[in-house]
A and B are shown apart, each in its own frame.
Chain A
């Protein structure tokens, strides 16, 4: 498998309160990779490290097979980045901002940009300082899509947008991906939003990557099971126990990597699996974070 983004032992420190530790990301080429994590977990910092805006304390970063920061201009020429808070030059009009952006990207497709301008219903002659937050978000997505990148890095691109704008933006992104087979690295704390569009997921919490797997595995592999006569220990279990809770007559376990034949392990331990419940992505995400925090403590 070739990776559009690959980091090894990536570390960064920002003051005394926050650090990224040993982050090892593997974003497959052509994937839509959801980068999940609560607010303040280090998603934006990781993205800024990937794009060479910050210098890591340790570790290596490769984007599109090239070294960061040594080959940064070449990487950025093939990468479209939508920051968390888009900030373009406010005195420019929408069309001037398009011209400005196009000047830096030889592959910028003016016709496609015009098409997106109409799709997003953006006022071409309006100054950016007079655009709404939703319009600003759409404009930034327009700019990066029209530059025809191989990699799209989107930092909470729909945060704070109304549902209509959010749907416009996401459908434009998905349309682009299906046409171009580009890799998308999209960060968000809105789990349900990523559930629909991503095929890989990485979960960051307090500066540590706590999980990275195909979305299907993430969705199907995390279960809540109700166990009677639950064993005290889980040594040799073929799954990962994320959480356990004692109920009046049984225990509720949240496990990762569950597969139906694994019930035999409980039977061998003298326990009885009474119910296996699918968790939606958000519940799975919460349980994953909870268990990683318990482990870290």
Chain B
């Protein structure tokens, strides 16, 4: 069953997944584009190069988000269109079917993750680093894997939820924004939305994995 679901998902999403994999492979290589002569470079130049690599690294969590959204929403797109009737008529429990779909989607995400890993490894091997600068291809790949899975899990859950649940989530977001407006209107020096955002993006918040440094090279 898993194989069939994986194949069906792959048939529907192969083009965007291949594109994601291509971008994931290219990003680490972009980080070393201007770093060919680093061992003999002055300290300022190395710092500039590290800064440029870090700027490109910022794109990696963005890529994780795009991959998670794409595969998470894509995993249920056609089932939604058919009101899940075909899936519900299959002889597996709902829970098992959901897990099978989740696992199949997660498997697809391995393509961009492995591509990033390969790109990071190739980038690392293609540059001679000055002393004190290290490459972290494995930890970058592991972090990208975690970030992709977190984004995927969130959007997978949103995609499978009922319209009522989706409205509830939207309601909470609108409620937060409204609360901020009301607080501002009565002159209270507090804001809810940034606080919630901070809570989500700081450890142990679920989105903490997306923020911080995404460096392939560091001291």
A interface residues with partner B (beta carbon < 8 Å)? 51-53, 72-77, 79, 81, 83, 85-92, 96, 99-100, 102-105
- Contact across chains for A81 and B4 when beta carbons are under 8 A apart: no
Residue B188, interface by CB 8 Å: no
Residues of B within 8 A of A86 (CB): 86
Q: Which of A53, A73, A79 contacts B85 (CB 8 A)?
A: A53
Residues of A within 8 A of B189 (CB): none
Q: How far is the CB of A53 from the nearest CB of chain B, in Å?
A: 5
- Contact across chains for B93 and A73 when beta carbons are under 8 A apart: yes
* Interface size, B (range): 20 to 34
Q: Which of A74, A76, A91, A99 contacts B89 (CB 8 A)?
A: A76
Q: How far is the CB of B201 from the nearest CB of chain A, in Å?
A: 36
With contact pairs A91-B12, A104-B92 given, residues A83 and B85 touching in the complex (Cβ less than 8 Å): yes
- Contact across chains for A89 and B12 when beta carbons are under 8 A apart: yes
A-B pairs with beta carbons under 8 Å apart, 28 shown: A52-B88, A53-B85, A53-B88, A73-B91, A73-B92, A75-B91, A76-B89, A76-B90, A76-B91, A79-B89, A83-B86, A85-B82, A86-B86, A87-B78, A87-B86, A89-B11, A89-B78, A90-B78, A92-B8, A96-B11, A99-B4, A100-B5, A103-B3, A103-B4, A104-B4, A104-B90, A104-B92, A105-B91
Specify the chain A residue showing the minimal Cβ separation from B85.
A83
With contact pairs A73-B92, A87-B82 given, residues A96 and B7 touching in the complex (Cβ less than 8 Å): yes
Q: How far is the CB of A124 from the nearest CB of chain B, in Å?
A: 15
Residue B81, interface by CB 8 Å: yes
B interface residues with partner A (beta carbon < 8 Å)? 1, 3-5, 7-8, 11-12, 78, 81-83, 85-86, 88-93
Q: How far is the CB of B105 from the nearest CB of chain A, in Å?
A: 14
A86–B4 CA distance with the chains assembled, in angstroms: 19
Closest 8 CB pairs of A and B: A87-B82, A103-B4, A77-B91, A76-B91, A81-B89, A91-B12, A100-B4, A53-B88
A129–B120 CA distance with the chains assembled, in angstroms: 39
Residues of B within 8 A of A87 (CB): 78, 81-83, 85-86
A102–B7 CA distance with the chains assembled, in angstroms: 13
Please report whether the interface of chain A is mostly helix, strand, loop or mixed according to DSSP: loop
Given contacts A87-B78, A87-B83, A105-B91, 20 further A-B contacts (CB under 8 A): A51-B88, A51-B89, A52-B88, A53-B85, A72-B93, A73-B92, A73-B93, A75-B91, A76-B90, A76-B91, A83-B85, A85-B82, A89-B8, A90-B78, A92-B8, A96-B8, A103-B4, A104-B90, A104-B91, A104-B92
Residues of A within 8 A of B81 (CB): 87
Q: How far is the CB of A142 from the nearest CB of chain B, in Å?
A: 14
A161–B8 CA distance with the chains assembled, in angstroms: 27
How many CB-defined contacts (below 8 Å) exist between A and B?
61
A77–B91 CA distance with the chains assembled, in angstroms: 5
Residues of B within 8 A of A74 (CB): 91
Q: Which of A85, A91, A102 contacts B11 (CB 8 A)?
A: A91
A51–B12 CA distance with the chains assembled, in angstroms: 28
Q: How far is the CB of B10 from the nearest CB of chain A, in Å?
A: 10
User: B1, B3, B4, B12: which has the most chain A beta carbons within 10 Å?
Assistant: B4
Residues of A within 8 A of B5 (CB): 100
Q: How far is the CB of A87 from the nearest CB of chain B, in Å?
A: 3
Residues of B within 8 A of A53 (CB): 85, 88-89
Residues of A within 8 A of B4 (CB): 99-100, 102-104
User: A52, A89, A99: which has the most chain B beta carbons within 10 Å?
Assistant: A89
Residues of A within 8 A of B82 (CB): 85, 87-88
Residues of A within 8 A of B88 (CB): 51-53
Specify the chain B residue showing the minimal Cβ separation from A83.
B85
- Contact across chains for A88 and B86 when beta carbons are under 8 A apart: yes
User: A75, A85, A87, A88: which has the most chain B beta carbons within 10 Å?
Assistant: A87
Q: How far is the CB of B207 from the nearest CB of chain A, in Å?
A: 31
Q: How far is the CB of A255 from the nearest CB of chain B, in Å?
A: 41
Residues of B within 8 A of A79 (CB): 89
A81–B85 CA distance with the chains assembled, in angstroms: 10
Q: How far is the CB of A130 from the nearest CB of chain B, in Å?
A: 14
A72–B88 CA distance with the chains assembled, in angstroms: 10
A113–B91 CA distance with the chains assembled, in angstroms: 19
Residues of A within 8 A of B7 (CB): 96, 99-100
A104–B8 CA distance with the chains assembled, in angstroms: 13
Specify the chain A residue showing the minimal Cβ separation from B14.
A91
A230–B90 CA distance with the chains assembled, in angstroms: 57
User: A51, A52, A53, A85: which has the most chain B beta carbons within 10 Å?
Assistant: A53
